[in-house]
Structure 1
Amino acid sequence: MGNSSTKIAPDQSMKCFTTSRGINLAIKSIEPCVTNPTPSDPASQAVEANSEKSKAIFFIHGVAGSSHVWESQLNYFTAQGYYAIALDLLGHGKSETPDKQSLYKFMHMSTDCVDVFDNYCKDFNTVVAHSYGTSLATFLARQRPSKIQKLVLMSGGAPVPLAPQTSVLSLPTPCLTLLKPVLTRFFQRSAFHKKNRNLPNKDVAFNVPVHVLRHTMKGQVWEEGDENFHRWLAQPTLLLHGEDDRLEPFAGTMEMHHILQKSEIYCIPHAGHMIMMEHPSMVNVLIEKFLNSDHVTSNQNISTDDTVTQKVSSSHTHVTKSQPNLRRNTIST
C-alpha cells in the first residue's frame, strides 16, 4: 500500500500522502485531544496513543469539496478522543490536480481511499462520508470489513450503480471555465437551505478546477454498486439527510435504509445537501450518539437546534431494523 510522506503543509495538520499508484494526496490528520476544563487542570491533554483501544474517524468529502467541509467535525471528535483523518480526493483541496481523465475513475479513487485508510487506521475505525464520498466509503467498508466498525453516510442517495455524469459537465473545459461562476451559484442555491446560504465558509463546498470537476463526474463508473453490493455491508450505519436537499432526494436515502442490514436514519429539517456545514452541532451530536450506542434504531424526523450541547432528548418515531421486516415503535431517547 501507499507510504506516507513527512512533508507538512503550513496548516501543520496537513500531510502529503503518496498512494500505491503514485498519486499525491493532501491528508488532514489530527491527534486526539481531550480538554479538561477543571480549575486544577485547564489545559488540553493529549490522549495517550497506546491507552486501551485507539479510535479513528475518517472523513471523505464529495465532488468539488475538500477536507475543509469537515472543520466542525474534526474539532469536535478530536476533543472526544478520536484520531481524525480527512483526505482531499484527487484534484480537490490541496491534493495534486492532474488533467488526465483516466486518473479520476471511481476504482482508482476508491483504491486511494483504501491506501489512506490502511496507513492511518487504528483499533476502532469509523468512516464518515458525504455525497459521492458515500460510494467511496461503502467500497472501503466492503474491502476492510473487519477493521471498519461503523459507517456514517450523509446525503448519499440510493444504492444504485454509478454512471458517468454528462449534461453540461460534458462540455469542453474552456466552456466550463466560462460557466464556472454560473455553476457555483447554482450549486450554492441547490446545496444549501435558503436560511443557510450566507454561511461564511460556504465557498469551500464547491471549489475545484473545472477540469477536475469534469473528469471526476465522468469518472463515476461503478456498475457493481447496486443493491446486492450494499446488502452485504455488515457495519451498523447512520444515514443523515437534509429535508430540503435539492440534489439528492430523500427517497433514495430511504431506499438505502431498507437495503442495509443495520441502519439508522435521520431526516434533518431546515437543511439542504451540506448538512455537516449547515447544522454542525446537530450532526456532531447525532454521530456521537450513534458511535456510543450498542444498538441501531431508526428515526425519521428530529429537531435541528444548533444550540444543542447534549444528546438528543425528545420523543421520536423510531423504526427498529430487523431484516426483512420493520417494526414501528414510539419511544423516548
Structure 2
Amino acid sequence: MALTEQSTGKDIQTKRWKLHYNEAGEGYPVIMLHGTGPGATGWSNFSRNVEGLSGKYRMIALDSPGWGGSDIVDGTFENRFMINAEAVKLLMDELGLEKAALVGNSMGGAATLQFCASYPERLSHMITMGAGFSPSPNIFVPGGLTEGIRIIVETYKNPTPENFRRLVSIMVYDSAFVTDELCKMRSDNALKSQANLDNWLKSFGPKFAPGMPTHELQARLAAYKGPSLFVHGRDDRVVPMEGSMRLVSLVENSALHIFNKCGHWAQIEHAEAFNALIDGFLQANGVTPSGGAGSVGAPVTGSKEKAWGG
C-alpha cells in the first residue's frame, strides 16, 4: 500500500512549538527538512524519498515552524535558520533520538548547516541539497537575488496557480513536472495559512532577523568531523552551485555530488538516483539499514504529478 500524508502524518508538542511531521519505516533515523517555497511541507518535498527509503530507515519529514501543520512563527524576531535548527533538536528530544542524519533541501539545507554549527553532538551525517552558502562574494554568479528567489517572493505575494506554474518551472529542469494539478495543489496548500505567507514576507530582506555571524558559522562547519554529503543540480536557477562547491572545500570529511539535467529539486527530478545516493552514503559511513520489504532504487509508487516539492 502506498504511503500518504494522512497515513504518515503526526503532531507532537515540543518545549516551544507544536510540530507536524511524517514518519515511516524503522531503523536509523533520517530527518528531512524542506525548502522555503510557499506551501512547502516535509511531505510535499520528500514524499517519494520517504516512500523509497522507508524500507531501510526511519524516515521523518518535518514541517518547519511557519510551514504546513506546524505552529506559526514570526521570523522578524528570530532568525529562521536558527528556529528551524532548534525545531529539529526539540523534535529529536521528544522522540528520544540522541543522534540523527539530516537531509536538507534549500532552506532546509541552510537549517542543516545551522544544526551542525549549533548541535554538532546530535548530528551523525550531514546531507544538504541545493543549500545556499556564501561566506564571501560570489565570483562566478551575479550578485543580488537569483531568478528563482525573485519568483518565490512574487508567489508569496500572490500565490495563484499561474504564479505557481512559474515557480515550479524555475525549480525543475524537466518541464514534465510542471502540471496543472501540481500548480493548483501548491496554491491551495499555500492559501491554507495567510499568516504564514504574511510572516515570511515580513521577515524577508532587510527585516530578516540576524543569525550566527558568517565567520562563526564557517569556523564551526570547518570544525565538524562527521561524514557530510553536498548535493546540487547543475541547472539550479534558485541557488548557485558555487555554494556547494565552497562547502566541500570547507568541510573536511565531505563529498560533492552534482546531478546533470537537474534544477533545485534533485530529490524529485532524480528520486530513485537520489534515494540510492543517500542509502549508499549512509551505509558507507557506518549505518546498517533495517530489514523490510522496501529496497532503495526500486520504482517508487505514484507519478511525477504526486511529487510537488518545496
> What TM-score results when the alignment is normalised by the length of structure 2?
0.72
SS in 2 for 1:102: coil
Distance change in 2, residues 1:129/1:102 (3 Å): same
Residues 20-49 of structure 1 deviation map (CA, whole Å, 9 limit, x = unaligned): 22x2221212242xxxxxxxxxxxxxxxxx
Distance 2:175 2:150 in 1: 28
- The match for 1:189 is 169
- The match for 1:4 is none
- The match for 1:18 is 13
Distance 1:201 1:55 in 2: 34
- Among residues 122, 136, 142, which one is paired with 1:147 in the alignment? 122
Aligned length: 264
Structure 1 residue ranges without an equivalent (≥5): 1-8, 33-53, 296-306, 311-333
> Is contact 1:13-1:30 (8 Å) kept?
yes
Choose 218-227 or 122-131, whichever is displaced more.
218-227
Identity level (%)? 18
- The match for 1:224 is 213
- The match for 2:201 is 214
Q: Which gives a bigger RCO, structure 1 or 2 (Cα 8 Å, sep 6+)?
A: 2
| RMSD of aligned alpha carbons | 3.6
Tell me the CA shift for residue 217 of structure 1: 3.5
Tell me the CA shift for residue 147 of structure 1: 3.3
Distance 1:102 1:125 in 2: 28
- Among residues 255, 258, 266, which one is paired with 1:275 in the alignment? 266
1:266 equivalent to 2:253? Answer no
> Is contact 1:244-1:272 (8 Å) kept?
yes
Tell me the CA shift for residue 168 of structure 1: 6.8
Alignment of structure 1 residues 67-146 onto 2, 5 Å = 67-68=42-43, 69-80=45-56, 82-97=57-72, 101-102=76-77, 105-120=80-95, 122=97, 125-146=100-121
Structure 2 residue ranges without an equivalent (≥5): 137-144, 287-295, 300-310
Tell me the CA shift for residue 267 of structure 1: 0.8
- The match for 1:234 is 225
> Is contact 2:74-2:200 (8 Å) kept?
no
> Is contact 1:66-1:205 (8 Å) kept?
no
> Is contact 1:99-1:211 (8 Å) kept?
no
> Is contact 1:60-1:86 (8 Å) kept?
yes
Tell me the CA shift for residue 176 of structure 1: 5.6
Tell me the CA shift for residue 160 of structure 1: 3.2
Distance 1:232 1:205 in 2: 39
Distance 2:169 2:36 in 1: 16
SS in 2 for 1:139: helix
> Is contact 1:56-1:121 (8 Å) kept?
no
Distance 1:113 1:120 in 2: 10
Report which of the two has the higher share of helix: 2
SS in 2 for 1:286: helix
Distance change in 2, residues 1:10/1:251 (3 Å): closer
Distance 2:209 2:254 in 1: 25
Distance change in 2, residues 1:92/1:176 (3 Å): closer
Distance 1:201 1:74 in 2: 21
Choose 225-234 or 191-200, whichever is displaced more.
191-200
Distance change in 2, residues 1:180/1:225 (3 Å): farther
- The match for 2:304 is none
SS in 2 for 1:189: helix
Report which of the two has the higher share of strand: 1
Tell me the CA shift for residue 112 of structure 1: 1.6
> What TM-score results when the alignment is normalised by the length of structure 1?
0.67
Distance change in 2, residues 1:77/1:309 (3 Å): closer
